[in-house]
Structure 1
């Protein structure tokens, strides 16, 4: 799986959040126009950015957005690749547990 993220940074980055546009190449090309899950991932980092701001607003937002993107991609790949009709090892095993304590 390969995730491409185009990130738009406003010149006033510390006061304006970065905007992510995603394209996942895995079992075909998936974007926000043809996959609801990609749209949900973009929403998680673009719309819910306020909960990702650190103690000093603006300075940790981009790294926190990238970290959240890694978590949601991991969850997506683990859940989407689960097919009970196929025997053998899964492409993305469910070894990790991602907890979200508050929303």
Structure 2
């Protein structure tokens, strides 16, 4: 059993030694290509988020808490309540 394992390991090392140039060239090429790509790509990335607000969600009582009111005064009151909540104050403190 041990000789079979060592025989397989020896055969594997022999195969790698015969193909050493292919392995070395592929590693060098991978490093060069990765370096070239890192130099070419932009250093700053931009991202954006789109939020879809549907008016039908305002009519659904289950989504009333998640819906966004189009009335600015109602939104300011809700934001003040949110800011004064313990949950937000503990994270700020």
Q: Give 1 or 2 for the bigger CA radius of gyration.
A: 2
TM-score normalised over the length of structure 1 = 0.26
TM-score normalised over the length of structure 2 = 0.29
With CA pairs under 8 Å and 6+ residues apart, which has the higher RCO, 1 or 2?
1
